[in-house]
Homo-oligomer: A and B are copies of this chain.
Amino acid sequence: MAKLTSRGQDYSKWYNELVVKADLAENSQVRGCMVIKPYGYAIWEKMRDELDRMFKETGHQNAYFPLFVPKSLFEAEEQNAEGFAKECAVVTHYRLKTDPNNPQKLIVDPDAKLEEELIVRPTSEAIIWSTYKNWIQSYRDLPILINQWANVVRWEMRTRLFLRTTEFLWQEGHTAHATREEALEETEKMLEVYATFAENHMAMPVIRGIKTPTERFAGAEETYCIEALMQDGKALQAGTSHFLGQNFSKAFDVKFTSREGKIEYPWATSWGVSTRLMGALIMAHSDDFGLVLPPTLAPIQVVIVPIFKGEEQLENIRTVATEIQQKLKAKNISVKFDDDDQNKPGWKFAEYELKGVPVRIAMGARDLENRTVEVARRDTLTKEVQPLENLDIYIEELLKTIQKDIYNRALEFKNNNITKVETFEEFQKVLEEKGGFISAHWDGSAEEEEEIKNLTKATIRCIPLDAEEEAGVSLISGKPSARRVIFAKAY
């Protein structure tokens, strides 16, 4: 197995190689679209199941809305339409026919042109709010708290596996509320669900914040986000929660009779995370040997590798391994016994390191005699000998420790990579030499934001929710600023 390019050598190449070699995903024959392979999909399923549980726990229900958005609905909310029109897949025909010039080939049947073109959903506000029109008449119909797991398509020019693909999988929550306050509360609640998920399950600390107007979702009044830091010092937007105000209810003429008998427009939110989180997970923790997965998201949490000569040794090891497996499974720990005789233990060690299996148990003839095993941690690459007795309890605790340690390392890295700067010179120096999040004053104008972006490629990732009031002067214009914002180069 050829080694991965190291992160130090070429971070971007390391990422691309890792995604493919760890069997997570690959490019398909369709421009910009990926194939999510079984191992990658198993990780995504674990993310999805946990998020789904959290959405249901906070009162949301799943539903499913059409893949297609008729053009007239698509264009109803102007900002949203403008934001997505430039990168959408358009269905214009509903039939192919045999090419009269070549009976082996098919051509688009010109007689099957649609009266109205259909847009493959890049996001579903339009189709969903045109549906809500029939569902909402009275305050008693509110709130509507719906989520959908779906595929969406955005015609991106430059794509990268998981991080930016033409088609991706995501969930999109779409809620409707009787009051502005309630919708704002929902927007913030779902941001916190995302942040909790990122931190507790992905072991990935995030900054919670608000986007500047320039970086807002097309059609939103306010976009909340969580921003994570990758090991190369670049930021990654890991989830967004939008307060949509009454933009969509007005665009689709959705009204309700309030408790007081007045006709009002409901208030909306939408929020989403996507398979992009896979990219974040990979880049936040992995190393030059391969994936490092937090135990909560690892499809295989423990692998048992027998070290044997001949059938008899293998059978003796198998007896003990089966016992271990049963005990671990009883604790809801997923475990694999790899008795494949075509690959050597060394090959298997490297393979499971590449795949990010959190704990490896190796067992040889001497271990059997001593009633011990060798336990290796993927995250620290350390090994130790442990007695067979109470091994299940030891492993259960070890997985918790690993989860915590992975998070703490990422947290330390993040904390060490938030740099306060006062001048634009300092800003440029930190950005070039160190990267990471830069905390600086900003005058609040789109002009300064734009200028900094043009000069450095760094953008304002967010105005942190916990930003303290602090008088300062902005980096370029020198105008007064009341709080710091977070800049970074980003994925």
Do residues A96 and B108 form an inter-chain contact, with CB atoms below 8 A?
no
Contact with B along A22-35 (1 / 0, CB 8 A): 00001011100111
Contacts of A95 in B (CB 8 A): 85-88, 90, 155
Candidate in A68, A85, A86, A93 with the most chain B CB atoms within 10 angstroms: A68
A127-B29, A146-B38 known; A108 and B120 CB under 8 Å?
Answer: no
- Choose from B65, B85, B96, B134 the contact partner of A106 (Cβ within 8 Å): B85
Roughly how many angstroms separate A64 CA and B35 CA in the complex, as a whole number?
6
Do residues B90 and A63 form an inter-chain contact, with CB atoms below 8 A?
no
Min CB gap A118→B, angstroms: 7
Roughly how many angstroms separate A38 CA and B56 CA in the complex, as a whole number?
12
- The oligomer's copy count stands at 2
Roughly how many angstroms separate A86 CA and B109 CA in the complex, as a whole number?
9
- Choose from B68, B94, B97 the contact partner of A30 (Cβ within 8 Å): B68
Do residues A71 and B87 form an inter-chain contact, with CB atoms below 8 A?
no
A69 close to B (CB within 8 Å): yes
Contacts of A189 in B (CB 8 A): none
- Choose from B36, B70, B91 the contact partner of A120 (Cβ within 8 Å): B91
Min CB gap A43→B, angstroms: 11
A131 close to B (CB within 8 Å): yes
A401 close to B (CB within 8 Å): no
Contacts of A65 in B (CB 8 A): 28, 35
Contacts of A81 in B (CB 8 A): 106
Min CB gap A322→B, angstroms: 19
Roughly how many angstroms separate A131 CA and B37 CA in the complex, as a whole number?
11
Nearest B residue (CB) for A126: B29
Candidate in A28, A97, A98 with the most chain B CB atoms within 10 angstroms: A28
Min CB gap A479→B, angstroms: 35
Per the 8 Å Cβ criterion, residues 148-194 of A in contact with B are 150-151, 153, 155, 167, 169
Name the interface size band of chain A: 35 or more
- Choose from B92, B94, B119, B134 the contact partner of A88 (Cβ within 8 Å): B94
Min CB gap A292→B, angstroms: 22
Contacts of A66 in B (CB 8 A): 28, 30, 33-35, 167
Do residues B153 and A30 form an inter-chain contact, with CB atoms below 8 A?
no
Contact with B along A64-83 (1 / 0, CB 8 A): 11111111011100100100
A105 close to B (CB within 8 Å): yes
Do residues B167 and A67 form an inter-chain contact, with CB atoms below 8 A?
yes
A104 close to B (CB within 8 Å): yes
A197 close to B (CB within 8 Å): no
Do residues A90 and B94 form an inter-chain contact, with CB atoms below 8 A?
yes
- Choose from B33, B61, B88, B108 the contact partner of A117 (Cβ within 8 Å): B108
Other contacts beyond A35-B65, A90-B93, A91-B91: 12, CB < 8 A: A28-B66, A35-B66, A42-B61, A74-B96, A74-B106, A75-B104, A75-B106, A85-B97, A85-B106, A86-B95, A89-B94, A90-B108
Q: Mind listing 26 A-B residue pairs with CB under 8 Å?
A: A28-B66, A28-B127, A28-B131, A29-B130, A30-B66, A30-B69, A30-B70, A33-B68, A34-B66, A41-B61, A41-B62, A64-B169, A74-B106, A86-B96, A87-B95, A88-B95, A89-B91, A90-B93, A90-B96, A90-B108, A91-B91, A92-B92, A92-B93, A108-B117, A150-B151, A151-B151
